[in-house]
Amino acid sequence: MSNLDSLNSPRGACYSIREQLLLLDNELRVEAASCAYFEGFNVTSEQTLHRRLHHIGKGQWNIPALLERLKELPLGDGSFADFDVEGDFPGLGRRNMLLGARRIPGGGAEPGAILLGIEDVTDRRRMRVELVEQRAWFETTLTSISDAVIVTNTKARINYMNPTAQLLTGWTQEQALGAPLAEVFNIVDEKLRQPVESPVDKAIREGAIVGLANHTVLIARDGSHMLIDDSAAPIRDKAGGLIGVVMVFHNVTHERRAKHQLEISEVRYRRLFETAHDGILILDAQSAQVLDVNKFLQHLLGYPASFFMGKELWEIGIFEDAERCKAVVAELQRTGSIRYENLPLQDQAGRQIPVEFVSNVYREGDHNVIQCNIRDITERKIAGDEIRRMKDAAEDANRAKSEFLANMSHEIRTPMTAILGFSDMMLQPHQDPIDRADCVQTVRRNALHLLELINDILDLSKIEAGKMAVERISCDVALLLSDLISLMRPRALEKRLAFNVRFDSPMPHCIKTDPTRLRQILVNLVGNALKFTTAGSIELRISVEGEGAGNILCVEVIDSGIGIAPENFDRLFQPFIQGEESTTRKFGGTGLGLTISQQLAKLLGGDIQVTSELGVGSTFTLRIDGGSFAGAETLTNLNDKMLTRCAPMDKWRDIPIKGRILLVEDGIDNQRLLSAHLRNSGADVVIAENGQVAVDLMATNPFDLVLMDMQMPVMDGYTATAELRRRGFTMPVIALTAYAMEEDRKKCMASGCTDYLSKPINRDLLLNTVSRCMAEAPQSKRRESSSASWEPSGGRAPGSIDAPRVTQAGDSIKSNLSGRSTMKDLIAEFVEGLPVRVAALIDSLRSNDFTALQRVLHQLRGAGGGFGFDPVTEPAGTAEQAIIDSGGLQVITDNVNRLIHTIRQIEGYDQSKEQPTLAAST
């Protein structure tokens, strides 16, 4: 429509202008039209001129809004533009026309004509729509691809970025449009971290496609780094001119990392393959031919890698022949894995190697492979044979222990028969005092034999657990041998055997060893000689071997007994075993003595050796390290008559005690019993019923010694002892406890106790221990005891007691101390108080008050044996331990009921004094 401004004569100009124009008067009649109009609409002048606008054609211009706007055009330079008309035009079809109008100034006051311009914009609009659609398709395509795309002009300024490019660079398209590429796409070399030329710059410079670049790092807008691969290609117009560049790049950080991990995995696999302690073969699954072999298998069989490559399994000696190999591979392909144990494999030297063969099928790329693991099991077979040997030995040892138990049963029952029988004889009324004394000696002798059996078992247990400790102190050889001779010679005389002692060299008066363990060894050796000798003699030959610091004491025990067959020598020092089974049946014994003796001899730095001839006799030779004899007194020309005899100790002698003693004990019976022992020996005794009372008393009263029960209410003995030590009490504290294990002794000592006594307390042991501890206490810290005795709150003091022995007459249990005048009243009072204790047991059990129940059980455990009622101690201790071990209500109930049943059988017990509502069903 711009050409309208140049028209001077509207009517004439319409014919010459190439645009479609109509000249309208004020009535909107067509006064003139351009040739372009007639041609464009394919109409004639007759069909157009002098007709009103809304009548020409087929009424396409009969548009009220158009007509209204044309009529209302202002005078002068009134105009409008871009009036859109869409309709069907004859011969043209559906078309879009864009109209513009302008009033031409007329003469005077008359309005001028209207020049109407018509432009067919149908094709232009279609092209625009197609262009928009193509751009949308293009952008959709670029948006949907996973690679980042940036389009630049020839100046390397950004025209377009797809979302992936925006995500990787951190720039939005709005921020990046028109910006130089270098600002948005900041790349550096991966290793040097120096800027590198972008592929866009290179594509512009070279006018060619730039391929992928490696080792490039993109620095995003937020400073984060990523590895990328990128490429760029020039964009050209139809004439081949460069109009821009498209760049494509993508993040390869994860790919590179995965590739790096794959490379690491391959290196690791190769390293494991080459350093594995199994032979490894890799086979082709179809041909079963070797593809790879590791160094271990090469070394195992003594062949280089070339020997294996391309061969089948049967060709390298794993299977017998090709058919067997094919069958194995077929099975492997079917099942995926096979395993063979103890497969023989021959090496280059012809040696048969037992191997374990495990094979599996794996997928590698587009084909299957077979991996064969071949393990040398030579050591495993040796170990298996050793395990079987050990199993056989263990079974032999088990049989030996079974035999030992049978022997032990015999060994225990024999003295027990004598003990029970002679104990019953002692209970017979009007027995002669001489016969009674003989019964006592018999009981004592058999009890000592039982004690020896128990000690042997305990010693063996300690030795096997590595807990047997020996001393190295000065030992009087003459005194020890004198004791041994005085013990063994009477036994030899009983069997009518000669007992001779001979010294083959001068003897040191003292050696350095453990006298207790040395005596134990010699008693065992001489006892064995006496046991297996029925006629002839026993001889001891003593000598010293060596000089200086390495002197050896040598003792030979020579007998004329049954002798030992050479094939049985190895059995002599095994536990639970004697030379042969018939020996056990004929002579008895546990088979422990020689085992313990040899182990003790080794602990003393020596050994025991044996020589023997069947039917003639045996010689057992003991050698131990006696330490240095330098400066020691030497005894010459010794014989057994010259040895010093040990004076027998008066076991029942009085032990006077002077001093003030604090007895801390919660059990009333134990208070009375122990205080009686102490007072009868001359001590002043004050009683405290728990640890707190003891601590309070100690704050205001001086004492020379404390006897401390360790299990008490309010404050136990461990806490009380520790508190006394913390407050500065330095005098002896002796622990009293019903627990007699080594761990309990250590626990008492750790709390600050000086010594330890286990319940039931033996009267002589108690007095000896108290006397010794008071004597060892510094005299400067001892206070002189007051002549006035402090009366304890526990009643009158009991007298002394013997070791407890309980007898039964019918169903009634009597105290073994009932014959002692000093104990009768105390026993009666103890029995009188038992119904109250039984009621307390029942009440505590029914109310589940296990704290109170344990306290009563603990008191009965200690007091029962002390008053001669030993059957009370065992069930009370078992029930208390069940509470400590959380053994369950039924176990506790059963043991408490057993205890109550036992108590009710005690002579003089009055069950009617129990509370009727609390009677237990026993």
What pLDDT, on the 0 to 100 scale, is given for residue 221? 92
Confidence band (pLDDT; 50, 70, 90) for 724?
A: very high
Average pLDDT, the chain: 80
CA atoms within 13 A on the CB side of 397: 9
Looking at the predicted structure, is the pLDDT value of residue 750 above 80? Answer: yes
Greater model confidence, 3 or 483: 483
Alpha-carbon gap, residue 454 to 446, rounded angstroms? 13
Alpha-carbon gap, residue 518 to 511, rounded angstroms? 11
What pLDDT, on the 0 to 100 scale, is given for residue 462? 55
Alpha-carbon gap, residue 9 to 699, rounded angstroms? 142
Looking at the predicted structure, is the pLDDT value of residue 795 above 70? Answer: no
Alpha-carbon gap, residue 387 to 508, rounded angstroms? 49
- What Cα–Cα distance (Å) separates residue 500 from each residue in 96, 247, 537, 634? 150, 117, 8, 22
Alpha-carbon gap, residue 226 to 503, rounded angstroms? 98
Looking at the predicted structure, is the pLDDT value of residue 805 above 50? Answer: no
Alpha-carbon gap, residue 573 to 516, rounded angstroms? 21
Fill in the DSSP letter of residue 727.
Answer: T
- Which of helix, strand or coil describes residue 529? helix
pLDDT digits (tens, 9 = 90+) for 829-860: 888 888 888 888 888 887 778 888 888 888 88
Looking at the predicted structure, is the pLDDT value of residue 800 above 90? Answer: no
Alpha-carbon gap, residue 164 to 348, rounded angstroms? 64
pLDDT digits (tens, 9 = 90+) for 56-99: 888 888 899 999 988 888 876 688 888 998 888 888 888 899 99
468 and 462 in contact (C-beta within 8 Å)?
A: yes
783 and 789 in contact (C-beta within 8 Å)?
A: no
pLDDT digits (tens, 9 = 90+) for 4-46: 444 445 555 555 567 899 999 888 999 999 998 998 888 888 9
Alpha-carbon gap, residue 202 to 216, rounded angstroms? 15
Greater model confidence, 459 or 807: 459
What pLDDT, on the 0 to 100 scale, is given for residue 2? 40
Which residues face 244 on adjacent strands?
235
Q: What angle do CA 367, 370, 372 make, to 5 degrees?
A: 165
What pLDDT, on the 0 to 100 scale, is given for residue 191? 84
What pLDDT, on the 0 to 100 scale, is given for residue 811? 59
Q: What is the mean pLDDT of residues 196-214?
A: 84
Pick from 35-44, 515-524, 797-806: least confident = 797-806
Q: Is the dihedral of CA 831, 836, 839, 841 positive or negative?
A: negative
What pLDDT, on the 0 to 100 scale, is given for residue 820? 66
Q: What is the mean pLDDT of residues 726-753?
A: 86
Looking at the predicted structure, is the pLDDT value of residue 555 above 90? Answer: yes
113 and 24 in contact (C-beta within 8 Å)?
A: yes
Q: Name the strand (E) or helix (H) holding 813.
A: strand 812-814
pLDDT digits (tens, 9 = 90+) for 614-652: 888 999 999 998 887 777 788 888 877 776 444 344 444
Gyration radius from the chain CA atoms: 60
Alpha-carbon gap, residue 655 to 769, rounded angstroms? 10
Q: Is the dihedral of CA 621, 624, 629, 634 positive or negative?
A: negative
Alpha-carbon gap, residue 639 to 787, rounded angstroms? 53
757 and 736 in contact (C-beta within 8 Å)?
A: yes
Sort residue 153 into left (φ over 0), alpha (ψ -120 to 50) or beta: beta
Confidence band (pLDDT; 50, 70, 90) for 806?
A: very low
Looking at the predicted structure, is the pLDDT value of residue 790 above 60? Answer: no
What pLDDT, on the 0 to 100 scale, is given for residue 76? 65
Q: What is the mean pLDDT of residues 314-334?
A: 81
Looking at the predicted structure, is the pLDDT value of residue 584 above 60? Answer: no
Alpha-carbon gap, residue 623 to 626, rounded angstroms? 9
Q: Name the strand (E) or helix (H) holding 415.
A: helix 378-426
What pLDDT, on the 0 to 100 scale, is given for residue 785? 36
What b-and-e string marks burial along 209-235, b requiring 16 or more CB atoms within 10 Å of the CB?
Answer: ebeebeebbbbebeeeebbbbbbbebb
pLDDT digits (tens, 9 = 90+) for 104-161: 876 666 778 889 999 988 888 888 888 777 777 777 777 778 889 999 999 999 999 9
- What is the maximal distance between C-alpha atoms in the chain? 182
Q: What is the mean pLDDT of residues 532-555?
A: 83
Looking at the predicted structure, is the pLDDT value of residue 675 above 50? Answer: yes
Q: What is the mean pLDDT of residues 298-309?
A: 88
Confidence band (pLDDT; 50, 70, 90) for 720?
A: very high
CA atoms within 13 A on the CB side of 228: 29
Alpha-carbon gap, residue 330 to 288, rounded angstroms? 10
Q: Is the dihedral of CA 319, 323, 327, 329 positive or negative?
A: positive
Closest listed residue to residue 883, CA positions, set 842, 850, 835? 850
Q: Which long-range contacts (C-beta less than 8 Å, at least 24 apart) are formed by 783-786? A: 783/660, 783/702, 783/704, 785/658, 785/659, 785/660, 785/683, 785/684, 785/704, 786/660, 786/684
Residues contacting 656, CB < 8 A, separation 6+: 681, 682, 771
Reported residue count of the chain is 922
Looking at the predicted structure, is the pLDDT value of residue 335 above 80? Answer: yes
Cβ neighbour number for residue 889 with a 10 Å cutoff: 12
CA 533 to chain CA mean position, Å: 58
- Which of helix, strand or coil describes residue 309? coil
Q: Which amino acid is at 542?
A: I
Greater model confidence, 727 or 341: 727
Q: Is the dihedral of CA 106, 110, 111, 113 positive or negative?
A: negative
Q: Which long-range contacts (C-beta less than 8 Å, at least 24 apart) are formed by 152-157? A: 152/181, 152/200, 152/244, 152/245, 152/247, 153/243, 153/244, 154/204, 154/242, 154/243, 154/244, 154/245, 156/180, 156/181, 156/182, 156/198, 156/200, 156/201, 156/204, 156/245, 157/181
Residues contacting 559, CB < 8 A, separation 6+: 529, 530, 532, 533, 536, 537, 538, 539, 617, 618, 619
What pLDDT, on the 0 to 100 scale, is given for residue 351? 85
Structure tokens at 878: 């078992």
Alpha-carbon gap, residue 218 to 185, rounded angstroms? 7
The label of the residue with tokens 């022992």 reads: 677
What pLDDT, on the 0 to 100 scale, is given for residue 467? 58
CA 595 to chain CA mean position, Å: 38
> 0.75 exceeded by the pTM?
no
Residues contacting 662, CB < 8 A, separation 6+: 685, 686, 687, 688, 694, 697, 698, 701, 703, 705, 706, 707
Structure tokens at 590: 């546990």
pLDDT digits (tens, 9 = 90+) for 871-913: 888 888 888 888 887 767 788 888 888 899 889 888 888 887 8
Looking at the predicted structure, is the pLDDT value of residue 534 above 80? Answer: yes
Sort residue 232 into left (φ over 0), alpha (ψ -120 to 50) or beta: beta
What pLDDT, on the 0 to 100 scale, is given for residue 419? 83
High-pLDDT (> 90) share of the chain, %: 20
Q: What is the mean pLDDT of residues 356-384?
A: 87
Which residues face 236 on adjacent strands?
242
Q: What is the mean pLDDT of residues 474-499?
A: 84
Residues contacting 5, CB < 8 A, separation 6+: none
Across 421-425, 509-513, 578-582, the highest mean pLDDT is recorded for 509-513
CA 6 to chain CA mean position, Å: 104
Q: Which amino acid is at 556?
A: E
CA atoms within 13 A on the CB side of 306: 0
Q: Which amino acid is at 271?
A: R
Greater model confidence, 786 or 84: 84
Looking at the predicted structure, is the pLDDT value of residue 455 above 70? Answer: no
Looking at the predicted structure, is the pLDDT value of residue 917 above 70? Answer: no
101 and 69 in contact (C-beta within 8 Å)?
A: yes
Confidence band (pLDDT; 50, 70, 90) for 551?
A: confident
Structure tokens at 345: 């494999």
The label of the residue with tokens 């009366």 reads: 791
- Which of helix, strand or coil describes residue 321? coil
- Which of helix, strand or coil describes residue 157? strand
What pLDDT, on the 0 to 100 scale, is given for residue 540? 92
What pLDDT, on the 0 to 100 scale, is given for residue 245? 93
Q: Which amino acid is at 168?
A: L
pLDDT digits (tens, 9 = 90+) for 504-517: 888 888 888 888 88
| E-state strands within 351-427 | 352-364, 367-376
